[in-house]
């Protein structure tokens, strides 16, 4: 079977007994299952059984090769005999991913099975066309599994010694020379799409999630929890995760899911579709952050309660908000009380990586703004202010001469000069010329009865201005003559723009330690509010 050192093996038999429940491929995803969107693109021959049977989620029928009439097809891919050339079938995987091994199943085929098979793979555009020879134009097939012998009515769990480093989205199964195969499972890890932004289901198999472990899944596979789409009665084997009856009110079952990527969770959905009377009485969820694949291997890992115990109804989608949406998590644990079935679990949130990239973009924008401000000679870090003496003097003159100021917005004041003709002592005072404008000010700016921009006042200085105004309110009219030019110059000075600030909080920053779910003895996890989802 290719597992001897002299043959330089690339694979080994993960289940020599053909009866193991757990093996080295148990926790990988079947990338070639129709349950996650895989499809057969083309096959060389389907005389006695369609190649689409290869990707069925259900196990093959025990009598898959028996046909009562010539029109009845096998529950397998079976080609005609004595072909002059080899037969092949090209399958587009449900999601691109790295490959860890294969399950070549011939159960139900006794005497109709192929004697040898091989598997090749490639990464090609999703709309690629397969020609009559089983090739894709411009794409080179890579050998994943060399030609191996297979037996009838058996599973062949062939694990690669090292999972592929590259991702694949097409595989080609080749029979040498003809015969039948009941099912083909391509076991691997989904490579999540990098171009997906905003809130996504981090617990979906197509996002790269995996069900690591479950206390019991005798009546429904734990992997069904993270399948896309709702459960369908047409596919009983993918209805959901269902445990044995416990007959004990204190019993509970659980399943641990590794998220496709660490993220900030906002909402959980528990779907009990098609489980009416089989659903659990209640369910609760916990979450943790660890770099280990299985949290039980990390002694420092701590589980936080993110969804309290919640009663469940049959055939219903339960949407529940997460209590800790500012803490990044890598795994979630679903606990059901006491037992029963759950069709699907959704964990919506935003990826940590995306938030880090968003923070980097904000930093770049702020740096660009600062550079632009520096280029035009402005201090982008400090708002423009006037001296205390100038502010006090300007306020005093404003009160003395009846200048009323009306706030238009946070950075602009509309100034209306209301001097009467009787208050003006001479024509010379009325024709006072403003000083030359500073850099950035508009030329020929209007002096009287005009809207001008003034720098924002220092915080907490309004009281001082009022006191200064009262102290100078009784000054002689000649006081205005000497200060009017200064007043007009200050009112027509340009405003320096404020630098836009961004509150940047990265997953590694210190955070609030007052959470009810935090244990002091455990290492603190970074926290951050998930940014608003982009639609």
Run of H or E residues at 427? helix 427-430
Listed range (231-240, 328-337, 484-493) with the worst mean pLDDT: 484-493
Q: Give, in words, the CATH class of 5-190.
A: mainly beta
Q: Which residue has the tokens 């969107």?
A: 37
Give the integer Cα–Cα distance in Å for 283 and 266. Answer: 17
Give the integer Cα–Cα distance in Å for 92 and 109. Answer: 24
φ and ψ at 109, to 5 degrees? -115, 105
Residue length of the chain: 535
Assess contact for 76 and 65: CB atoms under 8 A. yes
Domain 200-353 falls under CATH 3.30.70.420: no
Give yes or no for residue 5 having a pLDDT over 60.
Answer: no
Report pLDDT digits (tens) over 170-185. 999 999 989 999 999 9
Mean of all residue pLDDT scores within the chain = 76
pLDDT band at 57 (very low <50, low <70, confident <90, very high): very high
Query: What is the biggest distance separating any 2 CA atoms in the chain, rounded to whole angstroms?
Result: 120
Determine the 3-state secondary structure of 23 from DSSP. Answer: coil
Report pLDDT digits (tens) over 97-114. 999 999 999 999 988 999
Cis peptide before 16 (omega within 30 of 0): no
Structure tokens at 392: 């006090």
Give the integer Cα–Cα distance in Å for 18 and 155. Answer: 6
Assess contact for 57 and 238: CB atoms under 8 A. yes
DSSP string of 250-270, one letter each residue: T--EEEEEEEEEEEEEEEEEE
Mean pLDDT, range 458-468, rounded to an integer: 39
* 9 or 28, greater pLDDT: 28
Assess contact for 205 and 227: CB atoms under 8 A. yes
Give the integer Cα–Cα distance in Å for 157 and 146. Answer: 14
Run of H or E residues at 310? strand 304-311
Assess contact for 182 and 83: CB atoms under 8 A. no
Give yes or no for residue 229 having a pLDDT over 50.
Answer: yes
Assess contact for 530 and 350: CB atoms under 8 A. yes
Give the integer Cα–Cα distance in Å for 484 and 401. Answer: 10
Assess contact for 271 and 375: CB atoms under 8 A. no
pTM of the predicted protein model: 0.65
Residue 460 pLDDT: 36
Residue 378 pLDDT: 58
DSSP state of 236: G
Assess contact for 137 and 131: CB atoms under 8 A. yes
Q: Residue ranges of the domains in the chain?
A: 5-190, 200-353, 388-491
The helices-and-strands tally (H runs, E runs) of the chain is 5, 24
Q: Do domains 5-190 and 200-353 have the same CATH topology?
A: yes
Structure tokens at 479: 């006081």
- Least Cα distance to 21 among 228, 251, 214 occurs for 214
Report how far apart, in Å, the C-alpha atoms of 143 and of each of 115, 196, 442 are.
Answer: 19, 30, 72
- Least Cα distance to 404 among 461, 468, 449, 456 occurs for 449
CA 343 to chain centre: 22
Report pLDDT digits (tens) over 238-259. 999 999 999 888 999 999 999 9
Report how far apart, in Å, the C-alpha atoms of 394 and of each of 28, 314, 484 are.
Answer: 76, 74, 9
**252, burial (CB in 10 Å: exposed 0-12, middle 13-18, buried 19+):** middle
φ and ψ at 167, to 5 degrees? -95, 150
Residue 4 pLDDT: 40
Determine the 3-state secondary structure of 355 from DSSP. Answer: helix
Give yes or no for residue 487 having a pLDDT over 50.
Answer: no
């Amino acid at each position: 079977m290719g597992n001897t050192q002299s043959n330089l093996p690339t694979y080994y038999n993960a289940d020599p007994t053909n009866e193991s429940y757990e093996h080295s491929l148990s926790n990988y995803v079947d990338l070639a299952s129709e349950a996650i969107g895989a499809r057969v693109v083309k096959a060389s021959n389907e005389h006695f059984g369609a190649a689409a049977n290869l990707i069925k989620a259900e196990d093959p029928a025990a009598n898959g090769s028996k046909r009562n009439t010539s029109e009845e097809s096998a529950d397998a891919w079976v080609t005609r005999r004595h072909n002059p050339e080899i037969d092949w079938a090209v399958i587009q995987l449900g999601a691109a991913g790295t490959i860890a091994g294969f399950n070549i199943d011939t159960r139900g085929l006794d005497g109709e099975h192929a004697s040898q098979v091989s598997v090749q793979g490639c990464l090609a555009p999703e709309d690629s066309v397969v020609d009559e020879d089983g090739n894709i134009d411009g794409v080179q097939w890579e050998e994943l599994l060399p030609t191996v012998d297979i037996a009838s009515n058996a599973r062949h769990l062939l694990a690669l010694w090292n999972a592929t480093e590259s991702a694949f989205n097409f595989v080609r199964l080749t029979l040498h020379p003809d015969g039948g195969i009941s099912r083909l499972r391509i076991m691997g890890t989904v490579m999540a799409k990098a171009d997906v932004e905003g809130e996504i289901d981090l617990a979906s198999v197509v996002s790269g999630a995996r069900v690591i472990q479950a206390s019991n899944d005798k009546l429904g596979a734990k992997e069904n929890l993270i399948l896309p789409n709702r459960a369908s009665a047409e596919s009983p084997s993918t209805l959901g995760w269902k445990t044995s009856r416990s007959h004990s009110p204190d019993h509970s079952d659980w399943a641990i899911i590794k998220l496709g990527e660490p993220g900030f969770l906002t909402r959980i959905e528990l779907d009990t579709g098609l489980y009416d009377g089989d659903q659990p009485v209640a369910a609760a969820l916990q979450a943790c952050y660890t770099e280990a694949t299985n949290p039980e291997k990390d002694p420092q890992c701590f589980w936080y309660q993110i969804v309290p115990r919640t009663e469940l109804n049959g055939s219903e989608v339960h949407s529940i908000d997460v209590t800790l949406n500012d803490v990044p998590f890598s795994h979630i644990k679903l606990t059901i009380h006491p037992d029963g079935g759950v069709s699907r679990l959704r964990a919506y949130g935003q990826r940590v990586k995306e938030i880090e990239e968003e923070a980097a973009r904000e930093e770049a924008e702020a740096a660009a703004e600062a550079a632009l401000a520096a280029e035009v000679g402005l201090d982008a870090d400090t708002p423009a202010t006037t001296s205390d003496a100038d502010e006090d003097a300007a306020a005093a003159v404003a009160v003395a001469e009846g200048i009323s100021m009306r706030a238009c917005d946070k950075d602009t004041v509309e100034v209306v000069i209301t001097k009467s003709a009787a208050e003006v002592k001479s024509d010379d005072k009325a024709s006072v010329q403003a000083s030359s404008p500073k850099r950035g000010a508009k030329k020929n700016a209007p002096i009287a009865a005009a809207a001008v921009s003034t720098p924002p006042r220092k915080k907490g200085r309004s009281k001082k201005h009022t006191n200064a105004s009262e102290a100078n309110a009784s000054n002689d009219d000649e006081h205005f003559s000497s200060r009017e030019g200064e007043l007009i110059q200050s009112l027509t000075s340009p405003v320096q723009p404020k630098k836009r600030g961004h509150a940047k909080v990265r997953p590694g920053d210190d955070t609030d330690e007052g959470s009810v779910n935090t244990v002091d003895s455990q290492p603190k996890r970074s926290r951050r509010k998930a940014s608003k989802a982009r639609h």
